[in-house]
Structure 1
């Protein structure tokens, strides 16, 4: 079968790697792709938001299945466009992708259906938000309602910081129209865990756990980013916790979306906080996490195309997910200055040395090709992922590989997976 993958980041590189392993796939295309994805797919220069052009390409090339990677096209309704053209596509419809596209919607959904999450209030005017800040206990969390590249969340320790945050999001429009509505919620403490799951509109199949590192600097300091690294599995996510979450979070979420007329078919990403009062939802996403996909997908034993198809056809119960009994750690190599300003266009060295090395992957996030050389082209440049028999071994392998990849203004956190030392 012919497959079209939409996207061009590290998540899509990991997906391309996994899709290419399927015995069912005879040809793989990726739009727009990147310098690393070229190894597995024919890259097509069409942007992720050019829905009609993408659909035209799928029709012209007789694509059997399209897999949508990023959040923007899903929230924008690309699945609906493809379905209207009679094309087979994996990813939630627009009315279901709102679970990620609007934090106000998802918080209201959780409140209505009694799904555990942080206490919150929603605001549509800055003045009302400023007034509410007078009544808060600190710290508090401010969340821009819409998509913001994983950066629209501010943790504010004082009323003054929170007021500055309200101004930044609602008045200065740092995140554009995503800040037209603001969610202010209580600050939760505990271990964060990321859970990805396949969904077919009714049933849900949970994948192995992962833990992301959102902040730019060591010690979870600095600005929020799209993710600076991750590890899988999380030793803090036990079978007991999984059972609780299945009963009180995952299944109720699927049922709630169905009840609302928004049946969810695709990947549901649940960000959890393991609080002293039990697991609570931090946020939902409507697609694979980035960089969570880079540590979860290499450990998946199933043919991913078969699982995608079972979701589309409503037969997810026929698929039993299996994962390797090992561990993975991903360290993101970023451009110095990310997530703010940074320079691009630097030649990357050391990638050829890693290629083909068993258990080591250099997933391209922000790269390009110039004069036959791979160069930096984004804030997050590469996700260096390594497998090990256990988390400590995987972490050591990942950081050893990190040192072999070089480019000017290279930056990475030195403490990805450090929490596992506490286990």
Structure 2
């Protein structure tokens, strides 16, 4: 008999996780807390649970008869939800609070890499604004300014000039744009190359890689505009072959997993490595302690094995099995509310999209439209809907996605029209 699983989160990533779990025989039911109403289209039941109240969540798991929990977003991981669920006897998939520091503090992650010789950009960390400004003036530009803590994917400025870098420091330290996440900054040398995302299932010093993917952070076509949480992604990444992935595994992912074991906070969960593929090989841009969004929406649909069975084997110390389709490509495009990421204008209708064998909608920031006799959604946050499509290659997958999206009523929403452009040569 299949298990009942609770997925923590509310976005398109969690929608994709829940849908993938339900494809396998090991899981009969997926509940998502808090979830969103769009998930119900795939048989995922939203649950009105306060994920920040760990004691109440434990009781909710017991009331619902949950067999195990998949923690999707970073904030609950960093707040120790896995620790608290485990202490209550509820199996939970994700890193402990101590291991999740690899995402929760960029300074912590850079220090870990420095201690273990893991290739990344040279850096310095500051909690004093004047010292940070002096460093920028002495170092010059281009240079990268990062808020130390969680900033929803928006706390990074790639400064082309010294003035831009100093403005970014003022935004963090004076304007407090990122709150407590900006109590400290990490200033890095700029790495040149293409960024890619390598997500891996990890248990201790063992690593099971997923297909490589590449996302698009800037809001507008041509990589213009402010950085967002991600406007689309594609997988695999044809411009980088298996040798690059293997090099990243051997020089970065496996060593950092072993380092966390050595330092007393072993990692179990999904480790996301943001890579810059430079002329000298792969370098770490950042680590995340969970699956990426929107990368998950193009990677998990390519899984051909039972996700739930693999995760249960990981959690129990068994031998997990993860297999992936070959000869097919996937792309996803995010539909976001106008004004995102700075000031998304909420309340616009979000279109209903039907799933097909080569196309799937994953919903994010939506709520039910009140008073309608038929299903309908409205935007309640910046990213509202992700359309994922597949094809024999990136051009075919891209054509399939845009053939649907371009025919939707997207008044009040916007999307990039060039997702996957780097794969096209």
Aligned-partner Cα distance in 1 for 2:91–2:160 = 47
Tell me whether 1:336 sits opposite 2:335 in the alignment.
Answer: no
Q: Which residue of 1 aligns with 2:368?
A: 369
Aligned-partner Cα distance in 1 for 2:240–2:321 = 23
Secondary structure of 1:147 counterpart: coil
Alpha-carbon contact 2:199-2:273 (below 8 Å) kept? yes
Per the TM alignment, residue 320 of structure 1 is displaced from its structure 2 partner at its CA by 4.2
Q: 1:327-351 deviations in whole A, cap 9, x for unaligned?
A: 10001111111001122122223x2
Secondary structure of 2:27 counterpart: coil
Q: Which residue of 2 aligns with 1:325?
A: 327
Tell me whether 1:58 sits opposite 2:61 in the alignment.
Answer: yes
Aligned-partner Cα distance in 1 for 2:325–2:83 = 32
Aligned-partner Cα distance in 1 for 2:139–2:159 = 11
Alpha-carbon contact 2:303-2:322 (below 8 Å) kept? no
Secondary structure of 2:65 counterpart: coil
Per the TM alignment, residue 137 of structure 1 is displaced from its structure 2 partner at its CA by 3.3
Aligned-partner Cα distance in 2 for 1:85–1:190 = 45
Aligned-partner Cα distance in 2 for 1:93–1:222 = 35
Secondary structure of 2:37 counterpart: coil
Alpha-carbon contact 2:304-2:322 (below 8 Å) kept? no
- Unaligned regions of 5+ residues in structure 1, if any? none
- Unaligned regions of 5+ residues in structure 2, if any? none
Aligned-partner Cα distance in 2 for 1:23–1:110 = 39
Q: Which residue of 2 aligns with 1:33?
A: 35
Equivalent positions of 1:85-104 (< 5 A) are 85-104=88-107
Alpha-carbon contact 1:348-1:405 (below 8 Å) kept? no
Secondary structure of 2:212 counterpart: strand
Per the TM alignment, residue 356 of structure 1 is displaced from its structure 2 partner at its CA by 3.3
Q: Which residue of 1 aligns with 2:172?
A: 169
Q: Which residue of 1 aligns with 2:183?
A: 180
Q: 1:182-203 deviations in whole A, cap 9, x for unaligned?
A: 0000111111110111011220
Alpha-carbon contact 1:200-1:310 (below 8 Å) kept? no
Q: Which residue of 2 aligns with 1:154?
A: 157
Aligned-partner Cα distance in 1 for 2:350–2:125 = 44
Aligned-partner Cα distance in 1 for 2:28–2:223 = 43
Aligned pair count reads 418
Aligned-partner Cα distance in 2 for 1:300–1:241 = 21
Match of 1:190 among 189, 193, 210: 193
Equivalent positions of 1:142-291 (< 5 A) are 142-291=145-294
Aligned-partner Cα distance in 2 for 1:235–1:126 = 42
Per the TM alignment, residue 309 of structure 1 is displaced from its structure 2 partner at its CA by 1.1
RMSD over aligned CA atoms reads 1.2
Match of 2:126 among 123, 126, 132: 123
Alpha-carbon contact 1:208-1:323 (below 8 Å) kept? no
Secondary structure of 2:257 counterpart: helix
Q: 1:2-24 deviations in whole A, cap 9, x for unaligned?
A: 11111000100111110111212
**Taking structure 1 as the reference length, what is the TM-score of the superposition?**
0.96
Per the TM alignment, residue 294 of structure 1 is displaced from its structure 2 partner at its CA by 0.3
Alpha-carbon contact 2:126-2:132 (below 8 Å) kept? yes
Per the TM alignment, residue 26 of structure 1 is displaced from its structure 2 partner at its CA by 2.3
Aligned-partner Cα distance in 2 for 1:356–1:243 = 34
**Taking structure 2 as the reference length, what is the TM-score of the superposition?**
0.96
Bigger mean CA offset, 291-300 vs 357-366: 357-366
Per the TM alignment, residue 34 of structure 1 is displaced from its structure 2 partner at its CA by 0.6
Per the TM alignment, residue 404 of structure 1 is displaced from its structure 2 partner at its CA by 2.8
Equivalent positions of 1:345-384 (< 5 A) are 345-349=347-351, 351=352, 354-371=353-370, 372=372, 373-384=376-387
Q: 1:36-95 deviations in whole A, cap 9, x for unaligned?
A: 112322211123322222111111222111001101101111001101101111010000
Kindly tell me: are residues 385 and 320 of structure 1, through their superposed partners in 2, closer, same or farther at Cα, counting changes over 3 Å? closer
Q: Which residue of 2 aligns with 1:82?
A: 85
